[in-house]
Structure 1
């Protein structure tokens, strides 16, 4: 999915909790009817314009599952329920259940996790609203994500410190409601180094596998591979999102179901993508629905060209004293937009190194200039090495 739209709403309400208590239900109902099933039925009833049925189903889902008031309020399908008299009572029910459940956990740690969760979503919610109001290419959306990018850099460092002390702060430490918070921060700062930690946490039930699937897809796309679960979208083209290519696409819903994700066609409705799962012999979706794979030959006629070349750019990097003292080495990853004049805009750090390296990378990149052969804005991602050594400067 677009990075700015990886919200708590999507990671929690779409994935659903991993385990639930037994639902209180009349004998005529199917015994396996779980809180996630009730929640999805409530969404369906709300979409069909049946608020009374939706509220009844939601009340039972909240009583047996782990749905916070914020999750209910942020669910777009429930917008029509907010005017119902029973809505405030439902939110109060969800709040009371959450407070009673979370009373058993370390309260200072929970408070910190909640703060991290709020900051991880602070400007993403603004971006989401800008997407709805002004469109996916709007300057309002870009401005919100530029602010979020600054927060993300601080949050990933805070998360690294938390992991050093506690390991992954999952279900046993912070409970069902907050188990995905640290994952979301990592998801917004994707790095292969976290995958073993998160896989082990998912195997132990500390993190939902349905959440981890988002990171698996994102890392595969970053490596130029096809995704497995269909969670990742490309940038908007002419106001419409495209789907990143999927490996073994006819079986995508089988893989999604195994880890508790809803069918892909339902998931993609959130971005107005009218998707149909292909068969082994036929794909009914138009080619324009998918991001065009990059050719294997990487440096063929790029639409933009860095003036002076990358060696000269790297040579301008000064290795900060703080990074030297901490023996920091690695790369700072930047995302930016090259405008029609070849000037970098909206430069932000998406993978931090710390020790002053982030600030130095931003300084050098903002001063760079490009030839823009395409004549239109172009988004790129660049890795800057610290410390830079000429013989290793690629």
Structure 2
């Protein structure tokens, strides 16, 4: 599965489903209550609201719960609905229990055929370049988080990796800016979703002037279905925060200088925050912040547990 941690996209679970039940399913997954997670995903899918990611996530939960039949059924639906990450599926430890099953080779082959058919219209050299950029962007952040966890934020190791990350970000920004200037925003029909996500990540990590310059292009891409609406929401929030304006979607947090604790950055029209989040495919703010260890206090001032 895939997990979103602030602006870092790392392995675990996809959080793009807007339904409360999908959010609950993710919470059960994190609590290692895999059967309960699978059952909650099943309710989402039975209602007809499932995306390829939802089916894939349900398969992961059922595989970990020991129900191979349900796991394979959901993976087959994920492939049918356009799931395309062959490498991720093959390497995902959540699905390791399925590898010895005779159905696994056929599933992988079906996915490869599906991907090949989809990718016939892709700009393959550009896709490969952006996917390589995606890996460098994420790898240094995996290393940074691991070092921070092991050695602490003020450690020599973390500071060294921070400098390394700045250099990698600068190199990636130069590459992605050149790509956008030549090709426009690299949408999913041009390069696929992961490669398109790489452009978002790199620009999101860029200085304010670069984000502001290319934000209008990303807006147009999202309006055409070529870029993710929830990625756009994150960039809108980041740009507004950097300008000292309230954010719209609650994707940004900040360190309180007095308490040294993370907290939600100020939000415009906070009473309608969850409504706006749902419109762009983001789950409830309480659950989003909970996954980062931040307790949410709504506008009424009443603490939400």
TM-score by length of 2: 0.71
CA separation in 1, counterparts of 2:256 and 2:71? 33
SS in 2 for 1:234: strand
Distance 1:254 1:201, change over 3 A: same
Deviations 1:144-173 (A, max 9, x none): 221111011122122221112111111231
1:2-81 equivalences in 2 (<5 Å): 6-9=7-10, 13-15=14-16, 29-39=46-56, 41=58, 50-52=65-67, 56-66=73-83, 68-69=85-86, 81=94
Name the count of aligned residue pairs. Answer: 265
Deviations 1:4-38 (A, max 9, x none): 9523448x93337xxxxxxxx9xx93344332443
SS in 2 for 1:211: helix
Which residue is equivalent to 2:189? 172
CA separation in 1, counterparts of 2:100 and 2:150? 26
Distance 1:37 1:115, change over 3 A: closer
Which residue is equivalent to 2:242? 222
* Structure 1 position 84 matched with structure 2 position 93: no
CA separation in 2, counterparts of 1:98 and 1:136? 41
Please list every run of 5 or more consecutive structure 2 residues that lacks an aligned counterpart in the other structure.
18-41
1:320-359 equivalences in 2 (<5 Å): none
Which residue is equivalent to 2:228? 208
Q: CA deviation at 1:211?
A: 0.6
Deviations 1:318-355 (A, max 9, x none): xxxxxxxxxxxxxxxxxxxxxxxxxxxxxxxxxxxxxx
Which residue is equivalent to 1:119? 136
CA separation in 1, counterparts of 2:126 and 2:274? 37
Which residue is equivalent to 1:251? 272
Does structure 2 conserve the Cα–Cα contact (< 8 Å) formed by 1:55 and 1:86? no
Distance 1:264 1:140, change over 3 A: farther
Q: CA deviation at 1:68?
A: 2.0
CA separation in 1, counterparts of 2:152 and 2:84? 29
Does structure 2 conserve the Cα–Cα contact (< 8 Å) formed by 1:5 and 1:124? no
CA separation in 2, counterparts of 1:73 and 1:140? 32
Bigger helix share: 2
CA separation in 2, counterparts of 1:95 and 1:242? 43
Does structure 1 conserve the Cα–Cα contact (< 8 Å) formed by 2:59 and 2:75? yes
Q: CA deviation at 1:265?
A: 2.7
Distance 1:54 1:251, change over 3 A: farther
Distance 1:151 1:33, change over 3 A: closer
Which residue is equivalent to 2:301? 282
SS in 1 for 2:254: coil
CA RMSD between the two structures: 3.7
TM-score by length of 1: 0.56
Which residue is equivalent to 1:241? 262
Which residue is equivalent to 1:142? 159
Distance 1:82 1:154, change over 3 A: same
